[in-house]
Structure 1
Amino acid sequence: AFSLACFNADQGQVIVVYGADYGRRDRTTCINGRPDSQLQNVSCSKPTNIVATRCNGKNTCDIRALNSVFGDPCPDIYKYLEVAYRSRQSPQLSLNNKTVNELSQTVIRAFSLSCFNADQGQVIVVYGADYGRRDRTTCINGRPDSQLQNVSCSKPTNIVATRCNGKNTCDIRALNSVFGDPCPDIYKYLEVAYRCKCE
């Protein structure tokens, strides 16, 4: 089974799934003992919301990477399941999780995603992004308590994926004018879960 878990589940942390793909994206992942013929199609991966449906809000979650669960996006190809997730309070280390403050009009600072091996053909793949506020501890410096109270105002957005997927580097501003304002009078931030993959 494929297992997701929160390291501090006893402190109330739960799983938040940003995205999941079942299929094959490259010829190097999960290849042990497999013939070359089962690794050729690297464009057969498909996104699925099954992992999010089964695992979101839980402390631990087991799910099997099987065609009977996810369907078969590419017959005769050996597939695997990739999941981008985090615990509600601490980022999962296998992902590049980035957070940036909501910007005031006087601050000019961009949110940057980049791949360290861009010269080797790596590009950005965004699994998910949220703009708003999930807790009272992230991006709080100098902010009054009244701007940190609503921790249920975060909303998912596909704007980061639309602007950044397939690029080596990407800058985007965390502004209400870009993402809309899910909670007026609350100080917001942008969280992005992404990976670098060979193009």
Structure 2
Amino acid sequence: MQRFSLSVFLATACLLFLRAELTTVCEHSTADLTCGSGQVIHIDSAHYGRSDRTTCSEGRPSQQLQNVNCATSGATSRVATMCNGKSSCSVGASNSVFGDPCYGTFKYLQVSYTCKCEAIARVVSCEDHTVDLSCHSGKVICINRADYGRHDNTTCSHGRPSKQLHNVNCSSSTASDKVAQMCNGRDRCTIQAANSVFEDPCQGTYKYLQLDFSCAETWETTREQT
């Protein structure tokens, strides 16, 4: 069995234990989304409108609070386009940004987002091979994403018949979660790119494991420095 080794020396730090953030701002205000060093924003959801009568209600006449079925369609994709992949982002809670989904109603913007580790290193391991990840200087592995399958007909193709490379829409839906469970928080981790680990998302196709990850400071280390 062939074995690939990768040692990563990185200075950029990011929090290992990632938590969802929820930000709410009233109409005519600005939502400031921020992530720590080595982290980038990933928008989970965004809502511009009104879904209750209490949020952003202070000082407002009751007629501006009655419509609780008010929402701009496409708000999540709009905020994602503005902010995904950035370390900080400002979004105005205004009709000029989102349009006016309910004239006469005082609205608010609510954004749920996650700060993810910025992918700094990438490694690919062919099916039935093993990849070793390691971090040094007190840092630990932080998996950004992982995929087991095939998305082109060139990667890990040497010596393989064309029928094993034809399916380029093959992906394990659980690869990221499995690799994160195996490796996050450890300074070393060994993963086998095999159906026995990830099951077989496309029988008869020769697959590969692709990882995006960084070496991160642990939550405890980061907390002590703040």
Higher relative contact order (CA 8 A, sep 6+): 2
- After TM superposition, the structure 1 = structure 2 runs for residues 54-69 of structure 1, keeping only pairs within 5 Å, are 54=77, 61-63=81-83, 65-66=89-90
| 2: CA distance, partners of 1:127 / 1:69 | 25
**Aligned-CA RMSD value:** 3.5
Runs (4+) off by over 2 Å = 19-25, 45-51, 61-73, 81-84
When the two structures are superposed, what TM-score results if normalisation uses the length of structure 2?
0.50
- After TM superposition, the structure 1 = structure 2 runs for residues 18-167 of structure 1, keeping only pairs within 5 Å, are 24-25=35-36, 29=37, 48-49=43-44, 54=77, 61-63=81-83, 65-66=89-90, 70-71=111-112, 82=116, 84=118, 95-103=120-128, 109-115=129-135, 118=136, 120-156=137-173, 157=175, 158-167=177-186
| 2: CA distance, partners of 1:47 / 1:62 | 11
After superposition, the Cα gap between the structure-2 partners of 1:195 and 1:70, relative to the gap in structure 1 and judged at 3 Å, is farther
- Mark the runs of 5 or more structure 2 residues left unpaired by the alignment: 1-17, 22-33, 47-75, 92-108, 219-226
- Mark the runs of 5 or more structure 1 residues left unpaired by the alignment: 1-18, 31-44, 56-60, 74-80, 85-93, 104-108
| 2: CA distance, partners of 1:195 / 1:97 | 9
When the two structures are superposed, what TM-score results if normalisation uses the length of structure 1?
0.56
SS at match of 2:181: helix
| 2: CA distance, partners of 1:129 / 1:21 | 20
Question: Matched residue pairs, number?
Answer: 134
Please say if 1:195 is aligned against 2:220.
no
> C-alpha offsets along residues 96-141 of structure 1, whole Å, 9 cap, x if unaligned?
11111001xxxxx4211122xx2x2210011111110011111101
Q: Percent identity?
A: 34
- After TM superposition, the structure 1 = structure 2 runs for residues 159-178 of structure 1, keeping only pairs within 5 Å, are 159-178=178-197
| 1: CA distance, partners of 2:155 / 2:110 | 36
> C-alpha offsets along residues 51-74 of structure 1, whole Å, 9 cap, x if unaligned?
9x849xxxxx5427348564488x
Rg larger in structure? 2
> C-alpha offsets along residues 152-173 of structure 1, whole Å, 9 cap, x if unaligned?
0112311110010001111010
Higher fraction of strand:
2
